[in-house]
Amino acid sequence: MPLPRRARLVAIAVLGVLALAGAGGTFALQLRGDSRQPQAQLVFAEFGPKADHVFIAPADDPAQRTLVTTVEHVDGWGLNPAIAPAGVLVAYTVLAPGSRPQADSPAELWLLDVLKQTKQRLAGDADLRIAPILDRDGKSLVYRVSEPGARQSLMRVDLRTGVRRTLVTIETAFGTFPVGFAADGALVYASLSVEGTGMFSVSEGKPPVQLFRVDQITRDWRLSPDGSALAFLAPEIVSERVVHRLQVMRLDGGRAQPVRAASVEPGAADQYGAAWTPGGDAITVGREATPSDRAGAVTLAVEDGGVTALAAPARGFDLPLGWSSDGRALAARSFDGKSANAPGTETTVVVSTDGARRPVTGSGEIIVFGWVDV
């Protein structure tokens, strides 16, 4: 992976811990007021040494992309997008030109409307390494501020007024990570320590509530679309090796109850990523290739454990990123190596439920924001 750009700062899950100039061209169609049905469009950026170009493209033909905007940045350091859009809104952090080119430099936080092609600067003190989180309604956003030393704060921005408020401040040498918004609107976040992973929720003006604790360092935390369940990968020792496997917890206010552990097979294969289906009743994970099996991603029904396989790569494995709202297309990072320890070359693909695998290509690294309907 190229450095220092992805240092990717968001340190990819498959390798360990866990991604302004003027607007671009106009859309080929008048999208507002058009009588046709909204179509799933992938929003992604193509990394460039001094600027990233943001595009939108249909799920069934990613090559037919339209430029939305260009984001200038410090030489070698690209933008880091929010985990998922809210409607047609996407968010990202970036080191603006002239910034000190280091991971701990304060970054700018921006909001982009991909339909109107308008941008709004929200803050200048964001941690570039941590992806911001948009709420489902596009009314607020949470990002992390990291001060010198071990002091970290999770900040909420009201997108209507621009007002920023601190939700929680923690002294930690390990890290605090915003995850998403629960069904009651509280922010869910992960706090890592020598004791493992603590999962908390916090609402403005109230103290944090611990939902549950895991004795290991977990990763790839993802809330279901309605905020009622949390999926994550936790390490297990299987056949004398450490592998990461999917776990799901049902959230109920300040309480959490485990759901049947989602598993593909009892073997020692690693699992990668976590992408909820739009209905929230199933979740998709990637899996490590085995000598007898190509490693396509699989969708696991949360309650009954049913398994549906997706089209597999010719070699290597997939790391799911997110489903389109119609449930027909999955954005994924695909690696042609054998495992996380030897990932090989990375590409970005759209995997369809009809069995197609469509590459998302460009002259630079592809950075996926997620899906919008336009």
Phi, psi at 295, each rounded to 5°: -100, 70
**pLDDT the model gives residue 33:** 43
**pLDDT the model gives residue 146:** 95
Amino acid sitting at position 26: T
Strand partners, 214: 197
**pLDDT the model gives residue 9:** 38
pLDDT at 7 over 50: no
Q: Tell me the C-alpha to C-alpha distance, in Å, between residue 122 and each of 144, 163, 177, 245, 334.
A: 13, 9, 19, 36, 33
All structural domains of the chain with their residue ranges: 13-28+40-373
pLDDT at 303 over 90: no
**pLDDT the model gives residue 17:** 37
**pLDDT the model gives residue 130:** 96
Percent of the chain at pLDDT exceeding 70: 86
**pLDDT the model gives residue 340:** 84
**pLDDT the model gives residue 364:** 92
Average per-residue pLDDT for the chain: 86
Decide the pairing of beta strands 271-276 and 255-258.
unpaired
Report the alpha-carbon distance of residue 76 to residue 51 in Å, rounded. Answer: 9
For the chain, helix, strand, coil in percent to 5 are 0, 50, 50
For residue 171, the surrounding DSSP H or E stretch is: strand 164-171
DSSP 13: G
pLDDT at 25 over 60: no
Residue pointed to by tokens 């922010």: 187
190 near 210, Cβ under 8 Å?
no
Using DSSP, state whether 14 is helix, strand or coil: helix
Using DSSP, state whether 321 is helix, strand or coil: strand
**pLDDT the model gives residue 173:** 83
pLDDT at 203 over 70: yes
pLDDT at 368 over 90: yes
pLDDT at 349 over 50: yes
**pLDDT the model gives residue 80:** 98
pLDDT tier for residue 274 given thresholds of 50, 70 and 90: very high
Tens digits of residue pLDDT in 218-266: 999 999 999 999 999 999 888 778 889 899 999 986 667 877 655 545 5
**pLDDT the model gives residue 32:** 40
DSSP 369: E
- Record: fold of 13-28+40-373: Neuraminidase (2.120.10)
Which one of 31-40, 133-142, 236-245, 304-313 scores highest in mean pLDDT? 133-142
Tens digits of residue pLDDT in 124-150: 999 999 999 999 999 999 999 999 878
- How confident is the model over 25-44, as a mean pLDDT? 61
Report the alpha-carbon distance of residue 348 to residue 47 in Å, rounded. Answer: 13
**pLDDT the model gives residue 6:** 44
Tens digits of residue pLDDT in 43-72: 999 999 999 999 999 999 999 999 999 999
